[in-house]
Amino acid sequence: MKVTVSLNVNGEAWELSIEADRTLLDVLRTELMLTGTKTNCLEAECGVCTVLVDGMAVNSCTVLAVTAQGRQITTIEGLARDGELHPLQQAFIDRGAVQCGYCIPGMILSAKAFLDEHPSPTDGQIREALAGNLCRCTGYQKIVDAVQDAARVLRRERRR
């Protein structure tokens, strides 16, 4: 059954006619060609498909696109503003938190949702917040450090 779905992705409105069984991940990658959202386990175990829906991190592999109708979706492509990287993106570069990079879009989006709620986290809280995002390259350490760095930058920005 085809359904008509209006999606708001990174501030852009899309009107799509899709099969009802299609996941948000599938629609983002193959209809909107937003391949920054990655595909892997398709079972909500690895987190590479993480996107934000109304600011909340979700595994887009287990969300039907039709249920995201009318909600604000943010993918990694929507994080930088006017070519200026989000502090998380910059911190991931500066800290050497990126290796192969495949988990990184999901990791950064999980971290963003977390920092929006917890501006001054402990390392332990960061690790818990990222437990649903597997990374096989980094051992997570530089990722945790990068999230701390970004948190500092964001706190400074908020004070301004």
Partner 1 sequence: MTGAHFDYHEPTSIAEAVELAARFGDEARFLAGGTDLLIQIQRGRIAPRHVIGLHRVPGLTGVETNGRIVLGGGVTHRTIERTPAFGGALRGLVEGAEVIGGHQVRNVGTVAGNIVNASPAADLVPVLLALDADVTLAGTRGERTLSLERFLLGPGHTDRHPDELLTAVTMPGLPARSATAFLKAGRRKAMEISVACVAARLTLDAAGERCLAARIALGAVAPTTVRVHAAERALEGQPLTAEALRRAGALAAEAAQPISDVRASAGFRRHLVSVLVPRALHRCLERARGQA
Partner 2 sequence: MSELRTVGKRVPRVDARAKVTGTAVFAADFSLPGTLHGRIVRSTEPHARLVVIDTRRAAALPGVRAVITAADIPDVRYGGALKDETVFANDRVRYVGQPIAALAATSQAAAEAAAAAIEVRYEPLPAVFDVEAAMAPGAPLLHPDWETYTAIPLLKREGNVCNRARIVAGDVERGFEEADRIFEHRYTTAMVHQGYTEARAALASWDGSGQLTVWSNTQLPFEVQNTLAEILQVPPGKIRVVVTAIGGGFGGKLRVGVEHFAALLAKKAGRPVKILTTTEEELVASYPRQSTVIDLRTGVTKDGRIVAKQGRIVFDTGAFAGSGPGVASVATLVLAGPYRIPNLLIEGLAIYTNKTNCGSYRAPSGPQASFAVESQMDEIADALGLDPLELRLRNIVRDGDEGPTGQVLSSVGLEECLERAAAAIGWGERRPAPGRGKGIACGWWTTTGGSSGVYVKLNADGSVALSTGAAEIGSAALTGAAQILAEELGIDVADITLVSADTFATPFDFGAQGSRTAFAVGNACRIAAAEVRRQLFALASRELGVSEDRLALGERHVSGGGERIALADLARIANQTGGGIIAHGTFIAPPTPYDEKRVEAHVYPAFHSPSFHAHAVDLSVDPETGDVEIHRYVVAQDVGRAINPTYIEGQIEGGVAQGLGQALSEEIVYRDGRVLNPNLTDYKMPTAVDVPRVESILVEHPSVVGPYGAKGVGEPPNIEPPAAVANAIAAATGVRIRSLPITAEKIVTREASACR
DSSP summary character for residue 84: B
Could you tell which of partner 2, partner 1, none binds residue 80, using a CB distance below 5 to 8 A set by kind? partner 2
Q: Which of 137, 97, 95, 108 minimizes the C-alpha distance to 38?
A: 108
Residue 31 binds partner 2 (CB under 8 A): no
Judged by CB under 8 A, the residue of 3, 53, 134, 153 near partner 2 is: 134
Residues 82-121 contacting partner 2, CB under 8 A: 85, 89-90, 92-96, 98-105, 108
Beta strand residue intervals within the chain, DSSP E: 2-9, 12-19, 50-53, 56-59, 72-74
Using the contact rule CB under 8 A, the part of the chain among 62-70, 82-90, 96-104, 145-153 near partner 1 is 62-70
How many whole angstroms separate alpha carbon 117 and alpha carbon 138? 25
Collapsing DSSP to helix, strand or coil, 4 comes out as: strand
Chosen residue from 3, 8, 31, 40 binding partner 2 by CB under 8 A: 40
DSSP bridge pairs for 57: 52
Does 66 help bind partner 2 (rule: CB under 8 A)? Answer: no
User: Is 76 near partner 1 (CB under 8 A)?
Assistant: no
